[in-house]
Amino acid sequence: MSLIVSDRFSLIIGLGKTGLACAQYFALQGERFQVADSRAQPPFLHQLTSEQPDTPIHLGEFAHDLCLSARQIILSPGVSMQEPALVAAANAGVPIRSDVDVFAQAARSAGVPIVAITGSNAKSTVTSLVGQMAKTAGLNVAVGGNLGEPSVSLLANDVDLYVLELSSFQLESTTGLGATVACVLNVSPDHMDRYDNLMAYHQAKHRVFQACKAAVVNADDALTNPLVPDTVTQTRFSLGDPDVGQFGLRKEGVDEWLAQGLQPLMAVKKMAMSGRHNVANALAALALGQAVGLPMDAMVNTLATFTGLPHRCERVANIGGVDYINDSKGTNLGATVAALEGLGPGLAGKIILIAGGVGKGADFSDLVAPLSRYGKQTLLIGEDAKHIEQALAEKVAFSHAKDMQEAVSLAYQQAVSGDLVLLSPACASFDAYSSFEARGDHFAKLVWALT
């Protein structure tokens, strides 16, 4: 990126992981910038002051004058655009951008293709899967965004392909992504404590399609259909029969196959990942990979070995014929519904679900249908256990547990051979844990103690 000659500066709002990455990138580019954070002790304050002692840092309430004097504002995803100083700056014409915009400008200038993936659930799995497909194909691929490293930290001269997971928070202030291929995997209510309604959340997700060259669409979810020009190539995936050139499932003899049009690609039973939801994830990854020219044999070979991500429908143990599954990354309603509907069909017994935590304003009534079909008991924990109870009351069996340890103990007592104990909380973890990883690790530790 060329040096910008101006008396004005870029203002980085938020000194978390993303803000630090932007500060490091701007310093390398020789661009003038300042940093602001509403917290008295943001998490990366010490690192920034050690690395760049001359960088102006403003702590406390965001100042209107500071925001109005900036050439542009780079907004970290944890900060709402409704902050009064940001609203004033936007009204005055100050561009408010995301780190993703900064990344995309540099990546496009270098001519490196970008795969951009968002959705209410499964985006980490699909992002990682496409990244692994590219590695299998021999490409030097950089994977990150909302997953792993911030996007600007991925920029390098020797990268062949960028694969980004993007959250709605990141996309809110992204104005010119221009991805080679973009996808909204699915849309279900999440972060309703930040958005006024589902439509506002939906609109944030769909910013991933801005100026994209191709789009991948979930034909089974109408909320993923993009409003893009006719010049944008659209490829669809579905758990039904695929149309010509599209991705879906076909029956070949007694087996179900991943297919493109009439062409069978791989028997579903040969996939290393299990669950119906992961079949959809595989189809999405195939469509995305094809859009950037990944060879089909490399993609199929990856599906035969890719077992999924930690804390995402991860098998912990089988005790007395009962599988214990860690889906702690199921931090919203859609992810938990997908897990239930993915794991329930064909199960010899029933699912005992452990759910609860910080519900982020969600309406949990969508749990009723899959729990009615596949559930044996739901064990409620955490801050919003009462809200989930209100949705389930008199419809499906549930009980409360004071914490994860009691929930695992109760599940162990109630499960019989053929059942499945599933931690898929449909909630964030911050009422009791530092992260969903810590929550999943605790669940796994408690399960191992049963053996």
Given the residues 46, 64, 121, 146, select the one marked as catalytic: 146
Given the residues 123, 205, 350, 376, select the one marked as catalytic: 123
Active site residue 445: no
Active site residue 123: yes
- Give me 22's structure tokens: 């932007």
Question: What type of residue sits at position 300?
Answer: V
Active site residue 206: no
Given the residues 121, 186, 191, 311, select the one marked as catalytic: 191
| CA atoms of 336 and 190, how far apart (whole Å) | 12
Residue 181, φ and ψ in degrees, nearest 5: -145, 140
- Which residue is listed with tokens 């579905």? 238
- Catalytic site positions: 123, 146, 191
